[in-house]
Amino acid sequence: MILPIGNVLTPAEVDEARSELAAIRFEDGRSTAGWSAKLVKNNRQAAPGARSEALRRKLAERILANEVFAAAVRPKALTPLLFSRYEPGHAYGSHVDDALMGGLRTDVSFTLFLAAPESYEGGELVIEGTSGDERIKLPAGSLIAYPSTSLHHVAPVTAGERLAAVGWARSFIRDGGQREILFDLDRARRALFTREGKSAEFDLLSKSVANLIRMWADD
């Protein structure tokens, strides 16, 4: 499931994040790439430090607090976020994310966009699939979540600056198909509750969601 999620950050929070990142030193992004990804990765990443760590924690809290992200991803834990900067000539060639990062299995990858799409040219996140490529460039403050099993790349930036936070989630529900079923059922029961309030049908859907989680959860 490839899922765009809008308004993960407010405009004020985006501005604050950008202001913080402007004061943080960036270094060669290849320092965090695997041995093969180093060959195709060309960007800059925020250097470790107290300031970048505080921003990582703050944005991770906002991501985990988002109801759509929680329902779609069922996150058990997130890896520390990486802040990436792409300037003209930068790109990240085709690759698949590492299966383990920081001791966590990576089930869901995500990119939180921090630059307005009209402020840079190129720089689309391209998720490669058997039916074709999906090119993604979202408003600042929006997030795209997608399976970590996917081949993907970042198209070359030709003007402006692409700024984003990227991360990975270990899910309580390992299987992507099961996560999608739970997400669909959860959306259905919430829509039913909004329309009719608490009802016998709502209770049955809630029971099914809870019991499927018990059946499938990898805790």
Task: Give the residue-averaged pLDDT of 5-25.
Answer: 97
The pLDDT value given to residue 150: 96
pTM for the whole structure = 0.94
The pLDDT value given to residue 153: 97
Residue 136 in this model has a pLDDT that exceeds 80 = yes
Confidence of residue 124 (pLDDT cuts 50, 70, 90): very high
Hey, is 123 helix, strand or coil?
coil
The 10s digit of each residue's pLDDT in 85-113 is 999 999 999 999 999 998 999 999 999 99
Cα–Cα distance measured from residue 66 to residue 47, given in angstroms and rounded to the nearest whole number = 27
The pLDDT value given to residue 213: 97
The 10s digit of each residue's pLDDT in 140-199 is 999 999 999 999 999 999 999 999 999 999 999 999 999 999 999 999 999 999 999 999
The 10s digit of each residue's pLDDT in 52-88 is 999 999 999 999 999 999 999 999 999 999 999 999 9
Positive or negative: CA dihedral 43, 49, 54, 56: positive
The pLDDT value given to residue 158: 98
Beta strands in 39-179 (DSSP E): 41-42, 44-46, 75-78, 82-86, 91-95, 100-101, 104-105, 108-113, 120-122, 125-129, 132-136, 143-147, 151-154, 157-160, 162-171
Cα–Cα distance measured from residue 108 to residue 120, given in angstroms and rounded to the nearest whole number = 26
